[in-house]
Amino acid sequence: MTNNWSMSRDDLYGPPPAYSLDPPTSIYTIPQIRNEYQERLPPPPPCTSIDLSTKFLRYILANGLLHILIGLTSIVCGILLFGMNESYPFTGIWAGVLCITLGIYLIIFISQSEKQISSLKRFKLIHIITCLLIIIALVLSSINLASNSCYEKYFEFDQCQYSAQKLKIVLVTFFAFTFLQICITSIVTFVHIR
């Protein structure tokens, strides 16, 4: 039995796509041209790192350890004065915590492998703020030393301890030394960076 059924080309391959034989002439695409002025920002300056000498880093380390030691001693003196009812502004305690914080910051600063310009600016800012707070602590400690107050309304006169005078002198001496140390460190840092 023969099959007389013939297949057309469209039946065999399917209908041709519409675009393949006769491309449409009425559809055009126009590329978008932007004539807007785009302001180009200059590239950010490269983050420059500064190499600090080992002498300077050793000085900062010794400075940090000294600040921690002074801070601990100031806290002990402040607690003893508080126990004797001789320290009304708690200067030894908060200034001691400030000294310890500065000492820890200095040790962390030298432990960074690369010193950036921004970290040196932060270093200077922290020194300035600490210097101002130490000046306040020095003034309050000096007032407390000069007043030589023993609150007789809380204690009887016999219970006022005059050994507190020595602790007040220690605090004033430590805060004066810390102030000078911060000033010297700031000057040495400025000279070293220049």
Q: What secondary structure, in 3-state letters, does 163-192 show?
A: CHHHHHHHHHHHHHHHHHHHHHHHHHHHHH
Give the pLDDT confidence of 42-67 residue by residue, as tens digits: 655 555 666 777 888 889 899 999 99
Extract the tokens encoding 137. Answer: 């602590």
pTM: 0.65
Assess contact for 91 and 78: CB atoms under 8 A. yes
From residue 134, alpha-carbon distances to 14, 45, 72, 162 in Å are 92, 36, 15, 25
Give the pLDDT confidence of 133-169 residue by residue, as tens digits: 999 999 988 888 887 655 544 445 545 556 678 888 8
- pLDDT at position 153 is 46
